[in-house]
Amino acid sequence: MLHELLDRPAAGDPALHVGRRSFRFAELTRRRAAVGGLVEAQVRAGGVVAVCGGNDPAWLDVYAGVPRVGRIAAFVNHRLPPAQIVELIASTGAGLVIAGPDVGGLDGLSVPVLRMGAEYERSLAMAEPADPGPADPHSDAWWIPTSGTSGRPKLTRLTHASIAAAIDNTALARPFEGDEVYLFPFPMCHVAGYNVLLFLAHGRPVVLVERFDAATVAAEVTRRSVTHLSLAPTMLAMLLDHLDDTGAELPSLRCITYGSAPMAPALLRRAARRLDCGFAQGYGMTELSGNAVFLSPADHRAALGDRPDLLGAAGRPGPLTEVRIAADGEIWVRGPQVMTGYVDAGDTAAAFATGADGRRWLRTGDAGRLDAEGYLFVVDRLKDVVITGGENVSSRFVEDAMAAHPAVTEVAVVGTPDPTWGEVVTAVVVRRPGASVTDEELLRWGAEHVGGFAKPRRVVVVDTLPHTTSGKVVKPVLREQLSTDALPVPAAADAVVEVDGSGVLRWWVRRHGRWSLDRQVGAAIGRSGTRPLAARTEGDGSTPAGVFPLGRAHDADGEFGAFGTGDDPGVAVGWHRITAADWWCATADHPDHDRLTEARRGPDDEHLASVGPPYEFAVLIGTHSPNASAIFLHVATEHLGRLAPTAGCVAVRRDDLVELVGRLTPNTWFVIGHGMDEAAR
């Protein structure tokens, strides 16, 4: 049982540091018993407690306290849009939700919601401590959604036994010296949180940060004399940039463990030069309850010395793990830390394979190979292999080569459609702060360091890449953004307003023949409604009957989104925080829709802004609410003279819209839901 792992350490030592708060082992034990009593009183045996919020001591209470009394802790990523959070919580059948104070959209849930912070602490103090439930090591303890880097997230069933096996396997592969202090910078809703239990189970203190920030992590490493630190490669690059900028040193640091994504050799060499510490890699996934394959600090020293071949290795399987390579190159794993399956039995069937010996293996979805010494090399995700002209190209191989360029801080390689080659190798690059490099330079670098059919034929420079909470690049989002079926950008265009499928609005401008990102803001995008709403009143405005919810987004200022009428695509309704009055988009028969203008309409001081042929566009801005939303509708050129939007409609904040309208020209082009065409990059 999970709580038994944590009962081993001495009760008097400091155990957990969160900001200015510190907890001893005895306090954590009492909190686990209290949260067990709290959920035991509200959730049936075998039921689910959903947890959603930023890093907080409550997470550690839940990790072991909920399974302690025979309930299941279901982790929900607080960074998802509110609608997805609610949908995911509903899919778990949770009887109680423990949520961070800033998690929105939960008012419509039919189950109790307990907020982390003062409310949670009061409830914990009043709860009657509960005794542990029946000791069934194979019962579910955690349900964690997969990261969704290759499709729809799936709820993974992890048991007491599988999590304990992951902890034991890691400890056997990386023995403790007895004086470690560990800092955990990942969201605790991720399976990487098993590392927190790993260090606590061995009597070693843990430092939690609310979220990763290079300056905060560096300060906490110094303040708490941290010896061990887990980072994703992107986090390590940002930490190195911070140290270079400030000249700070981290003398207490002995080992940085990385995972979630491969480490580019150039980044590893840079880190080794800058930091006087060791490095360790862990290869794992949610379905493995944590890491199962390990590349030790000694392996890294060899890799940076006379064994450069090991720079591409994931490591050797832990003592409790078996690894094999299937006939198609897929990595298969067996061992006690493998999940039971997914909550959806249909997903489970596809996740496992039966070997020739009749044994059951987890299919990882990764392509790899094993060398004669037992080192595992992860070549790529099976779906990340680019097939160009009939040849297979490993994305990771090209990524490592491109990341070695001194002006590149991060790179992701995907295949994008091409009429001649089927796909072309496309490198999406993030420049190092302050660096200057052109697409042509990067293409030449790729030709020199990769060459042949594997070299990138297209380079896209961006400010950031889309990541999961664990630091993995979400390549399906990149592929969607780079799809060549995007609406074309005319040669005359000097500005592009782009809204991608995740609801981010970007303003691109062409300067000296090159496109650059001018500004990026949050937006809500919708494609189609599924069920019309009845008439209702919300706040100071009413929603007419028959409209369809199209989409909503959430940011620091609250929730906002858009409604569409469904039967008339030329009319849409938007809202801000679901309380402001309705905002209507102008239709084609409006007298001012054919030119860029503003016109006051009525006592509510509404403003119409539009741009005329051949790039027709119209919005109605309501100003009686200072933070009102407005609606963008895209119009294709073949519909000259008539406002005929595509299926997408977008809501953005009024202040952002007013600024954008001030920049509009007759050569502004609007792209919704597809991403910019190659010509605009």
Domains parsed from the chain with CATH numbers: 1-135 (3.40.50.980), 396-484 (3.30.300.30), 498-680 (no CATH)
Cα dihedral 544, 545, 550, 555 sign: positive
Range with the poorest average pLDDT among 83-92, 97-106, 350-359, 461-470: 461-470
Whole-number Å distance between alpha carbons of 628 and 346: 44
- Residue type at 234 in one-letter notation: T
Whether residue 542 contacts residue 582, with contact meaning beta carbons closer than 8 Å, is answered with yes
Q: Is a pLDDT exceeding 50 seen at residue 395?
A: yes
Q: Which residue has better confidence, 544 or 179? A: 179
Query: 23-37, 64-78, 185-199, 585-599: lowest mean pLDDT where?
Result: 585-599
d(CA 72, CA 76): 13
pLDDT tens readout for residues 498-530: 655 555 667 777 766 566 667 766 655 444 344
Greater confidence, 560 or 500?
A: 500
What the block records as the tokens of 122 is: 């009061």
Torsion of the alpha carbons at 342, 347, 349 and 351, rounded to the nearest 10: -80
Confidence of residue 609 (pLDDT cuts 50, 70, 90): very low
pLDDT of 485 above 70: no
* Per-residue pLDDT at 2: 76
Dihedral of the alpha carbons of 226, 227, 230, 235, in degrees to the nearest 10: 60
Find residue 23's DSSP bridge partners. 16
Where does the pLDDT of residue 607 fall: very low under 50, low under 70, confident under 90, or very high at 90 and above?
A: very low
The token pair at 329 is 């190159």
pLDDT over threshold 50, residue 543: no
For 266, the enclosing helix (H) or strand (E) is helix 265-274
The token duo for 191 is 């399976």
Q: Choose between 603 and 298: higher pLDDT.
A: 298
Structure confidence by residue, pLDDT tens digits, 67-117: 999 999 999 988 777 877 888 899 999 999 999 998 988 987 889 999 999
Q: What radius of gyration do the chain's Cα atoms show?
A: 27
For residue 530, what pLDDT is reported?
40
pLDDT of 652: 59
Q: What is the spatial distance between Cα 145 and Cα 147, in angstroms, rounded to a whole number?
A: 6
User: Per DSSP, which regions of 476-571 are E strands?
Assistant: 495-499, 504-511, 514-522, 524-526, 536-538, 541-543, 548-555, 558-564
User: What average pLDDT score do residues 178-205 get?
Assistant: 94
- 475-488 in b/e form (b: 16+ CB < 10 A) is bbbbbbbbeeebbb
Instruction: List pLDDT tens digits, range 418-433.
Output: 655 667 889 999 888 8
Beta strands 495-499; 504-511: pairing state? antiparallel
Amino acid letter at 155? Answer: L
CB 673 within 8 A of CB 501: yes
> Is residue 599 very low, low, confident or very high in pLDDT (cuts 50, 70, 90)?
very low
The one-character DSSP state at 424 is E
Structure confidence at residue 302 (pLDDT): 94
Q: Which tokens sit at 510?
A: 């062409």
Nearest to 19 by CA among 183, 263, 243: 183
pLDDT at residue 183, rounded to an integer: 98
Q: What are the residues whose beta carbons fall under 8 Å from the beta carbon of 119, sequence distance 6 or more?
A: none
pLDDT attached to residue 542: 41
DSSP track, 22-74: EEEHHHHHHHHHHHHHHHHTTS-TT-EEEEESSS-HHHHHHHHHHHHTT-EEE
Nearest to 144 by CA among 554, 470, 472: 470
Overall average pLDDT of the 303-318 stretch: 91
Letter for the amino acid at 594?
D
Dist CA 322 CA 377 (whole Å): 15
* Residue 629 predicted with pLDDT over 50: no
Q: What pLDDT score does 8 carry?
A: 66
Q: CB atoms < 10 A from the CB of 199, how many?
A: 24
281 versus 559: which is more confidently predicted?
A: 281
* Other CB atoms within 10 Å distance of the CB of residue 570: 18
Closest-CA residue to 648 (of 581, 589, 585, 562): 562
> Where is mean pLDDT largest: 340-354, 479-493, 545-559?
340-354
Average pLDDT, the chain: 76
Nearest to 188 by CA among 197, 179, 177, 200: 197
Show the 3-state SS of 136-156. Answer: CCCCEEEEEECCCCCCCCCEE
Residue 359's pLDDT is 93
Residue 292 has pLDDT above 70, yes or no: yes
Least confident among 137-141, 152-156, 511-515: 511-515
Please, are residues 76 and 189 in contact by the beta-carbon 8 Å criterion?
yes
Rounded Cα distance between 67 and 141, Å, is: 5
The predicted structure's pLDDT at residue 523: 58
Please say whether the beta carbons of 315 and 339 come within 8 A.
no
Lowest mean pLDDT among 346-350, 571-575, 652-656: 571-575
Q: Is residue 323 within 8 Å of 317, Cβ to Cβ?
A: yes
What does residue 268 show for φ and ψ, rounded to 5 degrees? -65, -40
- Give the global pTM: 0.65
Instruction: Name every residue whose Cβ is closer than 8 Å to that of residue 170 and which is 6 or more positions away in sequence.
Output: 194, 195, 198, 282, 290, 291, 294, 318
* Strand 155-159, strand 140-145: pairing: antiparallel
Whether pLDDT at 639 is above 50:
no
Instruction: Tell me the HSE value of 573 on the side-chain side, using a 13 A CA sphere.
Output: 23
List Cβ<8 Å contacts ≥24 apart for 592-601: 593/618, 593/643, 596/661, 596/664, 596/665, 596/666, 598/661
Comparison of pLDDT for 337 and 82, the residue scoring more:
337
Q: How many CA atoms lie within 13 A of 564 on its CB side?
A: 25
Residues contacting 561, CB < 8 A, separation 6+: 524, 526, 549, 550, 551, 552, 553, 574, 575, 629, 651
558-578 average pLDDT score: 39
**Cβ proximity of 416 and 424 under 8 Å:** yes
